[in-house]
Amino acid sequence: MPLIEYRDALNQAFAEEIERDPNVVLMGEEVAQYDGAYKVTKGLWKKFGDKRVVDTPISEAAFIGMGIGASMLGLRPVMELMFWSFATVTWDQIVNNAGQIRYMSGGLINCPIVIRGPANGGTNVGATHSHTPENMLASVPGLKVVSAATAYDAKGLMKTAIRDNDPVMFMENTLLYGEKGEVPEEEYLIPLGKADIKREGRDITLIAHGRAALTALRAAELLAAEHDISAEVIDLRSIRPLDEEAILASVRKTHRAVLVDENKPFCGVSAQIASMLQEKCFDDLDAPVLRVTALDAPAIYSPRIEPKQLPNPQDVIRKALSIC
């Protein structure tokens, strides 16, 4: 299988879906002629031209709203936010329009849009550029939220997101864009609402999404090598819809769970899962459900300090050992 970068896996997904469906249009700041601020859309404007790949002014409220409006008419806009942090500028469009229009129209209007971009800290760009809004978005019924940890997942999830008939918020990660992974040449789709068991284990379940899933995987390797603990790693992949079944099945097997989450702790994605675990498999748990999250403060700039603000494998191991 070819080994390709996460960004190129996304790029393939866009190219394939643009070719497959004439209603797919890519839009955002610098996505066309500049090839994207992070080169995720590289070469697509050259290949598909002005109609399919469109540069917008710095007007997030207007262009995201425009994409939502166009999707009501059946287009399938794939909208890039250069950073998900900039969603704050267009929050009304996303939450009130994309999120509510189907419900408020009694199901008469659909909104098959994808809004995508990186949502991560860890790159020393300061608090305004380091938000991880997947938890906030997932708290809006009507929106779907997806987060890809690997090149393979990025491509398969993106293709599904584009074909989905609801608004899908797609979380990428600037720290992962350059990471390589195996991506098959033949077409594949990854369903929304299905978690991925990235490593099987017996003693404890580590649950994560996005880059935190890789942190959990690394922790699992170390737990096995150094502590003889067999950890199962579940990558949510899709946050809403959520694969409740897979999570519960794993925890019923291992009886222990540590949640790893680059969200801040307060109402982070992991908080929702922790609540679900105590409600639905309390009797199966041999220990309290623990969490490793981003430190609960705005993202500090200082390049030597910021890494400590995000979950790392050692934090996960420490928490795991405290309950194993």
Partner 1 sequence: MDTATKSSDHAHAPINKNLTPEAKIQLLRDMLRVRRFEQQALKQYNGGKMGGFLHLYIGQESVAVGTCSLMGDDDHVITAYRCHGHSLAVGMTMNECMAELYGKATGCSKGKGGSMHFFAPDKNYWGGHGIVGGQTPLGLGLAYGLKYKGLKGAALCFLGDGAVNQGCFYESLNMAALFDLPVIYIIENNGYSMGTSLQRSSVVKDCLAQRGEAFCVEWAQANGEDIYEVRAVTQRAIERAHKESKPTILEFDTYRYYGHSVADAKHKGGYRSEEEIDAYKRDHDPIQLFKKRLLEERVITEAQFDEISDASKAEAEASAQFAEESPLPSETSIFEDVYYEVDRQTEAGRTGKHFFND
Ligand X SMILES: Cc1ncc(C[n+]2csc(CCOP(=O)(O)OP(=O)(O)O)c2C)c(N)n1
29 vs 235 by CB, closer to ligand X: 29
Amino acid code (one letter) for 16: E
Q: Count CB atoms within 10 A of the CB of residue 205.
A: 30
Structure tokens at 240: 């809403």
Catalytic positions, written as ranges: 60, 129
Q: Give, for 30, the enclosing helix (H) or strand (E).
A: none
Q: Identify the residue among 2, 22, 49, 58 touching ligand X (CB under 6 A).
A: 58
- Report the Cα 267 to chain-centroid distance in Å: 16
DSSP 8-state class, residue 308: G
Query: Residue 253 class from Cβ within 10 Å (0-12 exposed, 13-18 middle, 19+ buried)?
Result: middle
51 makes contact, choosing from ligand X, partner 1, none, with CB < 5 to 8 Å by partner type, with none
Least distance CB 82 / partner 1 (angstroms)? 9
> What CA–CA distance (Å, rounded) separates 2 from 317?
33
175 vs 224 by CB, closer to partner 1: 175
309 makes contact, choosing from partner 1, ligand X, none, with CB < 5 to 8 Å by partner type, with partner 1
Residues in the chain: 324
109 vs 305 by CB, closer to partner 1: 305
Which residues inside 24-83 make contact with partner 1, applying CB under 8 A? 29-30, 33-34, 37, 55, 57-62
Burial 158-191 (b: 16+ CB within 10 A, else e): bbbbbbbebbbbbbbbbbbbebebebeeeeeebe
Least distance CB 128 / partner 1 (angstroms)? 4
Whole-number CA gyration radius for the chain:
19
Q: Which of 110, 172, 119, 115 is nearest to 144 (CA)?
A: 115
Of the candidate spans 113-121, 213-221, 253-261, 262-270, the one that interacts with partner 1 by CB under 8 A turns out to be 262-270
Dihedral of alpha carbons 172, 301, 128, 265, sign: positive
24 vs 81 by CB, closer to ligand X: 81
Cis peptide bond prior to 241, omega within 30° of 0: yes
Least distance CB 86 / ligand X (angstroms)? 4
Least distance CB 82 / ligand X (angstroms)? 5
Instruction: Report if residue 88 touches partner 1, rule: CB under 8 A.
Output: yes
Which residues inside 263-322 make contact with partner 1, applying CB under 8 A? 264-266, 293, 295-298, 300-306, 308-309
Least distance CB 58 / ligand X (angstroms)? 5
- The residues that bridge with 4 in the sheet, in sequence order, are 181
Of the candidate spans 81-89, 115-123, 154-162, 302-310, the one that interacts with ligand X by CB under 6 A turns out to be 81-89
Q: Identify the residue among 96, 100, 124, 230 touching partner 1 (CB under 8 A).
A: 124
> What CA–CA distance (Å, rounded) separates 133 from 18?
27
Instruction: Report if residue 91 touches partner 1, rule: CB under 8 A.
Output: no
Of the candidate spans 65-73, 82-90, 137-145, 208-216, the one that interacts with ligand X by CB under 6 A turns out to be 82-90
DSSP 8-state class, residue 94: I
Instruction: Report if residue 60 touches ligand X, rule: CB under 6 A.
Output: yes
Enumerate binding residues for ligand X (CB under 6 A): 29, 58, 60, 82, 86, 89
Residues within the interface to partner 1 (CB under 8 A): 29-30, 33-34, 37, 55, 57-62, 85-86, 88-89, 123-129, 264-266, 293, 295-298, 300-306, 308-309
